[in-house]
Structure 1
Amino acid sequence: MGSLNVPPALLRWVSGIDVATATAGPTAVDVPDHATTLLLRVERRELIVMGPRTRAAYHAGGAGHSCVRVRMRPGRAQALLGRPLRDLADRVLPLRALPGLDIDQFATDPVTALDGAWAGLPVPPARLDEAARLLAGGTVAAAAARLHLSERRLHTLFLDGTGLSPKRFARIDRLRTVLAAGAEPGRWADIAASAGYYDQSHMTGEFRRLMGVPPAAFTAGRFPAATSCTERQGHP
């Protein structure tokens, strides 16, 4: 997988763009992700939207097609699709097209294609970005208070803009912090504290629920049994 350099103007919409080609190998792991992702299967010119993933998936690695993956910032996919995302969690849906996006150019030069398609679009307010930042180190109540919103209103904004409740969004964010920290013997307590968990036991329990195995087993490569890669599809 290769990450592309994203210009500042496009970073208002996306948090990253990757180009990948599946190859035969060991078990592949799709970790939980609170972002909505646009994906183009290059050979088929097939565009899909992947909602946030609330549990890890393990499947047998195998040779496959190339794809372009665009990880969207909170609230941006809602603006592009013109609909709330509250029913997209753990779903993969086909997209017929996106306004202004040249699919052939997107397949060969994703950054230029997206920059051209979205340059003139009004960027949604950054309220969800700020809320996500506040949740990373605090509670839903504290985040709502800082934003001068009721907790109920914040809950609605997150469901519509990310497909997740604020609490579930924060859980996945903490888990991703743990995964990004890597694993070194004797550091679990420090990692738990830096990720915002009450203690190491709390982190271990949450990790097991979202990843299917405890942290030590995961870092040692003792994964759950791999399954075939399946998708539930519908129409957005």
Structure 2
Amino acid sequence: MQVDLIEPTVPAPESLRAWITELGRFPTDTDASLPLTHVPHAGTTIVLRTADRPDALVLGPQTRASYSTADKPAGCVRLRLAPGATRQLLGVPATDIADRVVRLADLPGVAAELANELATLPTDEVLPFLEEVLPQRISEDATQRTHRELLRDAVAAISARPTVHELATDLAVSERQLRNLFTTGIGISPKHFARIGRVRQILVDASNTPGVELAHIAAVHGYYDQSHMSADFKALMGVPPAKFFQGRVPAPTRCQSS
């Protein structure tokens, strides 16, 4: 079983950080016969396919895990969008593309104008190209900047704040405003964002420390008990953690590479 959780990444240059956080690479030399686990992800991603016919796709926030197999190895480059950047780059609120995959060229935002170039550029030229052309194409008023920076601060603080009320209080905004910021700028609620973050961290910890007791992982990540963690994990991954780490996952669907 392959998991698309850990991949080599390159931080975006400072001039792009308001819109893009990093570039990741999923290699073409993976074993296509093994099922691939697509772990839930709270961000929006521009995916540049590097095998067969090049294309630029947009992967919205994924609220549940999916499992697939490919007909052949297919590598890709992934541009992770910063919180709050979806509308500016893609022309739509993040909630419109949650749990969807769409072609970048079909969206109304400024990034769509760059789809052909992005799909055909060598990987090491993608960030320099964006650094040169993207800042010139994006306009941002004071309100948009304030909302984006507020959402950035919320994302940075959410793992240390048990409730939406506490997070909103710390940021001096109403709970309603905070929820609206997450829904529009990220595509999911603050609560679901935090759940995805915790489950992803559980997967990292379990991979780094084979054989670790699930009760210990539950305690480390602030769950009331192991059953609470298992219920959260199952809701997002489709199976409880014990079954997942034994490789007993839902039947994969066929993912065509062309």
- Asked if these proteins are the same fold (TM beyond 0.5), I'd say yes
Which residue identity does 1:6 align to in structure 2? A
What SS class does the counterpart of residue 53 from structure 2 fall into? coil
Instruction: Say if 1:39 and 1:68, in contact at 8 Å, map to a contact too.
Output: yes
For 2:49, the aligned partner's letter is R
Cα distance in structure 1, aligned partners of 2:253 and 2:39: 14
Q: CA offset at residue 199 of structure 1?
A: 2.3
The count of residues paired between Structure 1 and Structure 2 equals 230
1:101 and 2:114 aligned = yes
How far residue 208 of structure 1 moved from its aligned partner, in angstroms, is 1.0
1:207 paired with 2:216, answer no
Q: How do 1:1-236 residues align onto structure 2 when only pairs under 5 Å count? A: 2-22=8-28, 23=30, 24-42=32-50, 43-96=52-105, 98=111, 101=114, 103-104=116-117, 107-108=121-122, 109-120=125-136, 121=138, 124=145, 125-138=148-161, 139-182=163-206, 183-229=209-255
> Over aligned residue pairs, what C-alpha RMSD do you find?
2.4
Cα distance in 2 for residues equivalent to 1:140 and 1:154: 8
Q: Which amino acid aligns with 1:41?
A: R
- Per-residue CA deviation, residues 108-158 of structure 1 (Å, 9 max, x unaligned), is 122212222334446743211211222212211111111111111111111
Farther off after superposition, 77-86 or 165-174: 77-86
SS in 1 for 2:255: coil
Cα deviation, 1:3-35, whole Å, max 9, x if unaligned, reads 335333333433321233444231111000000
**For residue 10 of structure 1, what is the amino acid of its counterpart?**
L
Measure, in 1, the Cα distance between the counterparts of 2:118 and 2:81: 19
Is the 1:39–1:48 Cα contact (8 Å) retained in structure 2? yes
TM-score of the aligned structures, taking structure 1 as reference length: 0.86
* 2:76 counterpart SS class: strand
In the aligned structure 2, how far is the partner of 1:50 from the partner of 1:102?
A: 14
| Structure 1 spans left out of the alignment, 5+ residues | 231-236
Tell me which stretches of 4 or more aligned residues in structure 1 moved more than 4 Å.
Answer: 120-123
Residue ranges of structure 2 left out of the alignment (5+ in a row): 1-6
The answer to whether the 8 A contact 2:218-2:226 is kept is yes
Q: Distance in 1 between matches of 2:248 and 2:149?
A: 40
- SS of 2:96 mapped into structure 1: coil
Alpha-carbon shift at residue 64 of structure 1 (Å): 3.9
What is the distance in 2 between the residues matched to 1:128 and 1:51?
17
> Is the contact between residue 57 and residue 101 of structure 2 (CA under 8 Å) also seen in structure 1?
yes
